[in-house]
Amino acid sequence: MTTSSAGPRLLGPAEVRLLADGLDLRPTKQKGQNFVIDPNTVRRIVRDSGIGADDVVLEVGPGLGSLTLALLEVARRVVALEIDPLLAGLLPATVAERAPDHADRFEVVLADALRVSEVPGPAPTALVANLPYNVSVPVLLHLLGLLPSLERGLVMVQSEVADRLAARPGSKIYGVPSVKAAWYADVRRAGAVGRNVFWPAPNVDSGLVAWTRREPPTTAVTRAQVFAVVDAAFAQRRKALRAALRTLAGSAEASTAALAAAGIDPLTRGEQLELADFVRIAEALA
């Protein structure tokens, strides 16, 4: 006897390959296609993301639907952004077949997550995704900037990218992604994911990054002005800030004066500063 409220049936290795064969799909590196074939991994991602029954979840790059089905088990609504027309076309049928009681909670949008300017329906409260590895940082930053309703999230990215996003000032891997992500959120490393949970297995390790939205710094300058300082500071990592900011400031004298006004030693390097320092420099330059 079956109940009408059966949960979604998740995808395993055989089901993923069957769906791919049906589309005559050969995963490509260009599109960063590595499909998750392990139900335990998607359950873990959903659990660690902290989403609940009230959440509207945004997913990016749903692929064949492995994570989508697990998200539908918990969330109020899931909106998936998919750039590949073949995959976007198949997804509603997969959801209807494997999660019939949850199909009305799901919508797929055929779109490039880097260029999307709005998301249909209620404002999303969480971002949970296996992000395409070749564009993971720009996609994450674009969506954090576009959708202030996003309160928290958990994304799977390349392991070293996860380290960079969560890096703190003073470390060798601290850089542009670390500072820009910190503008929007408190970011932390949330675990590792083995290569064997994907098909095809990638030749890089994967990591999970969790984040919680926080208010951006209170300042009279714009985010773009602060980010311009961040970009300049790390464009030539080995240079002291006085030299690194020279072009942005207009001259070495102007950059030295701005740093002094911000209370920062002109011989400091960008990797030693935290977000608040970059904000003070942008204010001094303005």
Q: Parallel, antiparallel, or unpaired: how do β-strands 106-110 and 77-82 relate?
A: parallel
Q: What is the pLDDT of residue 220?
A: 96
Please count the CA atoms within 13 angstroms of the CA of 152 that sit on its side-chain side.
11
Predicted confidence (pLDDT) at residue 83 exceeds the cutoff of 70:
yes
Low-confidence winner among 3-7, 49-53, 77-81 (lowest mean pLDDT): 3-7
- Only one residue has tokens 């976007």, namely 88
**For residue range 85-131, what is the model confidence (pLDDT) as tens digits?**
999 999 999 999 999 999 999 999 999 999 999 999 999 999 999 99
**For residue range 126-185, what is the model confidence (pLDDT) as tens digits?**
999 999 889 999 999 999 999 999 999 999 999 999 999 999 999 999 999 999 999 999
Confidence category of residue 3, pLDDT binned at 50, 70, 90:
very low
- Average pLDDT estimate for 5-19: 90
pTM reported for the whole predicted model: 0.93
Predicted confidence (pLDDT) at residue 25 exceeds the cutoff of 90:
no
Sign for the pseudo-dihedral over CA of 158, 41, 111, 125: negative
Helix or strand holding residue 127 (H, E): strand 126-130
**For residue range 262-278, what is the model confidence (pLDDT) as tens digits?**
999 999 999 999 999 99
Helix or strand holding residue 136 (H, E): helix 136-146
